[in-house]
A = this chain, B = another copy of it.
């Protein structure tokens, strides 16, 4: 492989991964304002020029690091929601969400994303597109099915319901004394129940 730029070594995927990892760590530890390209290079164990050769600003680099870390596959798919038992799907969704949202990593990233929303809207835009929107689409599919099943009122404003559900979670994890996974499970069940998406098991 020839490096078209005519100098330096060809690009190394491991170097890129190390830089992205360092950028994400520093963003979470110190925020955008507390992070510099120099610190990212140092933590990744590369020279500053190696970083600048690929990313022209720390904002671009952090945005890509965020994009990469949040674009995980979602289970279930909107197709599943039509085909399978809604209550079982929701039990599964809540369990996965409780485990994820109780982690220090989720809390820390959520804080930084909220914190950057006004000063660095380009970061929130990436998070919105890759993390939030797919989850909102999933929630919309669940709520529409629940509307047909009669547990969510037909005239409910689904976007508002989703803001209440997602807002409750983000706000709860940023409060002093955030819940552990078991506490988040109870919290999520109460939230889902409030909007008409969850009914306690008969034996409970």
Q: Footprint of B on A, CB under 8 Å?
A: 29-34, 104, 107-108, 110-112, 114-119, 121, 124-125, 128, 156-157, 160-161, 163-172, 174-176, 187, 190-191, 194-195
Contacts and interface: CB of A to CB of B under 8 A. Distances in A.
A29 B33 CA distance: 10
Contacts of A172: 163, 167
B114 A111 contact: yes
11 contacts: A30-B33, A31-B119, A108-B119, A111-B115, A111-B119, A112-B118, A115-B116, A125-B176, A128-B176, A163-B187, A166-B167
B128 A118 contact: no
**This chain's copy number in the assembly:** 2
Given A111-B118, A115-B31, A171 B171 contact: yes
Given A114-B111, A116-B111, A118-B111, A163 B156 contact: no
A163 B171 contact: yes
A173 B195 CA distance: 21
Contacts of A170: 114, 167, 170-171
A170 to B, nearest CB: 6
Given A33-B34, A114-B174, A164-B168, 14 more contacts: A30-B33, A31-B119, A34-B34, A110-B114, A111-B114, A111-B117, A111-B118, A112-B115, A112-B118, A114-B114, A124-B176, A161-B194, A164-B191, A166-B167
B168 A160 contact: yes
Contacts of A124: 174-176
Given A33-B33, A111-B116, A119-B29, A163 B168 contact: yes
A171 B168 CA distance: 9
A28 B87 CA distance: 43
Nearest to A112: B115
